[in-house]
Structure 1
Amino acid sequence: MKREWNIFLSALSFFTRIPVKIAEGQIVELSLSVRYFPLVGWLAGTLSALIFFSFDMVFGQSLAIIFSMLSTIFLTGALHEDGLADVCDGFGGGWTRDKILEIMKDSCIGTYGVIGLVFITSFKFFAIQQIVSNLNISTQWSLLICMLVLANTLSRFNAITMIFTHTYVRAEKSKSAPMVHNVKISNLYIALIITLIPLFTLLFYTQQYKWVFVLFPLAIVNLFLSRYFNKWIGGYTGDCLGAIQQISEVVVYLSIICLWKFF
């Protein structure tokens, strides 16, 4: 149990800005922390919801959503947003594998990266706003928590599946290398169980099985992006995982809206 706790702390230290101190001699392989990436999604979704409720009482829904989005950015240190921006710059400005990887490694953000961030944050804001408008927050606050946790959890699981299906193309000394090399399939199963809990909670809470269909658009996103990355660079990088997470989160929100509207 203590070992699992240390693995979870390793996940927190890598995927968030939460200061974590692991006792010397208790440090575990970073590749094991992949199993708890969706659990970080639980944390991000819960924090996002709590910040929304707190600020909604003072500033109203629109500003509360902005503060809610900022809270997850501060929690993760914009890790995934940075990945999305790098992917937009790399694939937008590079026409060869080496050039794409070179641009993605550049710490400076370019035009494509800015456009990508503007679009993804806009989609998030308006999608969450649409979801909130469909709820009576005073009586359905727990439903909003479920949906935010679900989006943050499913999107992270969607990202890590690529670790098990495609090749990591960066050098061994890169930041993400220790996390993605020699990852056992058992970590994916553990991550899947953690991921499905919010979904089953939503199904049980609403007694509506339509929410299962949020999985299908995610599968399409995963298939499309993984094939796209594989075509151009022969696999994936840590930035690609961040991009998948961001896009998948928005897709979950959009799927929820569509299921509400048409089913």
Structure 2
Amino acid sequence: MKLQWRYFLLAVVFFTRLPVPALADFDEAELNHAARYFPLVGLLIGLIAAIVWWLASLLFPPAIAVLASMAASIYLTGAFHEDGLADSADGLGGGMDKAAKLAIMQDSRLGSYGAIAVIGVLLFKFQALLALPAAVLPFALIAAHAMSRLAAVHVMAALPYVRAAGKSKPLATTPTRHDLWCASAFGLWSWIGFAGLLWLNHTALAALQFLLLTGLPVLLAWWWWRNLLGRHLQGYTGDTLGAMQQLTELAFYLGLLAWSRLL
């Protein structure tokens, strides 16, 4: 248990700005084992974002509360995933071949493709969250942040890492079957638990519709992005994992919004 706690703290350190106790004798190779806790870190980030939304909604209009929640999640991660989305869009949109795409993704400057991608995704997320019923919004934040990080872990399992070095090089080893089972348990727990709450407050049919209308968009977004990476890069980078997180988080919100309109 002590070792697993260490792996969880490593995942927190790698993906967030949250303060954690000092980890003695740190070895980058340990991050390979921390992949199983990425969805749990997402659940933690979603929970904090939900708390910020709730507190802000006590004092401010709904739009301000949603913006405060989004700002909290971005601050907690240091815009880690948004930066990955921007770099991925610039690289895949501007490069003519694999080498050029990877070189552009390493450029710290923000291009037009990256700016459009980040602004577009943030606007879509803001509008989707604002349109959701207040009763489901905090649960949506928790489930979406956990599920989207699970999607990134499955990209690591499905594709090879394509850089000789980079911010995700310590994670380049393919997750083991046990890692995937653990990550899936953490990622799916919040989603299925959300469905259970809907079953209790609505009907079994409403819960099943929720699972379909949120699960299918996330799966389609994962499949599309994974195939795009396989075709253009023959693998993944740290930036593309961040992009996957952003795309699947948005897909979850849009699916949930569609579900809420059917009630």
Q: 1:160-203 CA distances to partner (integer Å, 9 max, x unpaired)?
A: 101111111011x3220111215322111000011121122112
1:209 aligns with 2:201: no
1:157 aligns with 2:150: yes
1:187 aligns with 2:179: yes
**Amino acid aligned to 1:53:** W
Q: By how many angstroms is 1:26 displaced?
A: 6.8
Unmatched 5+ stretches in structure 1: none
Q: What does 1:1-263 align with in structure 2 at a 5 Å threshold?
A: 1-25=1-25, 29-131=30-132, 134-135=133-134, 140=135, 143-171=136-164, 173-207=165-199, 208-213=207-212, 214-262=214-262
**2 CA distance for matches of 1:163 and 1:23?**
25
Task: Flag the 1:182–1:218 CA change in 2: closer, same or farther, 3 A.
Answer: closer
**Amino acid aligned to 1:31:** N
Do the aligned residues in 2 keep the contact of 1:229 with 1:235 (CA within 8 Å)? yes
Q: 1:131-159 CA distances to partner (integer Å, 9 max, x unpaired)?
A: 1xx33xxxx3xx43221111111111111
Give the root-mean-square deviation of aligned CA atoms.
Answer: 1.5
Do the aligned residues in 1 keep the contact of 2:129 with 2:253 (CA within 8 Å)? yes
**Amino acid aligned to 2:104:** I
Q: Percent same amino acid among aligned pairs?
A: 35
Q: Which moved more, 1:37-46 or 1:78-87?
A: 37-46
**Amino acid aligned to 2:195:** L
**1 CA distance for matches of 2:105 and 2:23?**
34
**2 CA distance for matches of 1:108 and 1:25?**
34
Q: By how many angstroms is 1:262 displaced?
A: 2.9
Do the aligned residues in 1 keep the contact of 2:11 with 2:37 (CA within 8 Å)? yes
Do the aligned residues in 2 keep the contact of 1:164 with 1:185 (CA within 8 Å)? no
Q: By how many angstroms is 1:25 displaced?
A: 4.0
**Amino acid aligned to 2:226:** S
Residue 14 of structure 2 aligns to a residue in which SS?
A: helix
